[in-house]
Amino acid sequence: MSTDLDTTAADGFRRTPGGAIVMDGNRLRDEIVAQLRVTIEAAGSPAVCLATVLVGDDRPSQLYVASKQKKASEAGMTSRHVGLPGDASQAQVEDAVAALAADATVHGILCQLPLPGGLDPEPVLGLIPFEKDVDGLTERSMGRLVRGLPGHVGCTPLGVMRLMERYGVATAGKRAVVIGRSTLVGLPQVLLLGRKGIDATVTLAHSRTPDMIEVCRDADIIVAAAGSARMVTAAHVKPGAAILDVGVSRSERGIVGDVDFDAVQAIAGAITPMPGGTGPMTIACLMENTLAAARMLGAFPA
């Protein structure tokens, strides 16, 4: 798959060969991280700490955690890492998270999932106070999102919203389709798009949706988060629609998304590349949430 992009257009946005605006997650991530550093330094550089917990030696997870620590440093934050062996017990993992939850110098806690087989993530996540749940994964964070109370929103769906804001994708009165119903992305994405002030009319589609092409063809915005490689084709896309690709699949040719980029970029008005689109924004929003957590805990000026 080719994702070659044209040079910057007159409006300042990069565009695909088909003319779609490229919603560049790498660029926006770096903008957000740089602004967070400015904000922290302007406040006198108080310690803002993100703690990560990794169980086992899964190489992709190690790389992902390392990238989070790197961006935290670039944002002017500190990192703390707890690494546990793959044969750690449920009690050992829970004790590690409980210690971070009780530590006033730690503001955000991220437990890298999935945990090794035999470990139950729910009791582990349940130990994280909502103020420190910078991944927005616990039932308390999800419940606060539903209720419209202060709390942390999942980093990936929040990153989708940040991309649309940055690249001028209109939402009020628009029709949006979210493909995928996971608690990590799909369900919170529906809530974010439909909340007051965003005001999209949202349809949740999934593997049991019988008329997927017809549903998608009516949409001004499609968020593809089903984890099904290249399932969104040109036939699914209304001319000029904004297409945000969250799905990740591994193929012989590398990582591919839920969107057939080459075909869709010729029709869409705006599109995220894969990689380099929504993925970097997950880390950017993790940094945003960590600073917000420090504010919630009174460790950073409001």
Question: Which residues participate in catalysis according to the annotation?
Answer: 68, 112, 135
Q: Does residue 275 have a cis peptide bond before it, meaning omega lies within 30 degrees of 0?
A: yes
Of residues 27, 109, 24, 119, the one with CA closest to residue 72: 109
Minimal CA–CA distance to 229: which of 208, 202, 254, 266? 254
Q: How far apart are CA 234 and CA 232, in angstroms?
A: 7
> Closest by alpha carbon to 249, among 269, 284, 279?
279
Cα atoms in the Cβ-side hemisphere of radius 13 Å centred on 273: 21
Strands 254-256 and 270-271 come out as unpaired
For residues 246 and 178, the answer to whether their CB atoms sit within 8 Å is: no
Burial of 217 (0-12, 13-18, 19+ CB in 10 A): middle
Q: In whole angstroms, what separates CA 70 from the centre of its chain?
A: 17
What residues are paired with 281 via a beta bridge? none
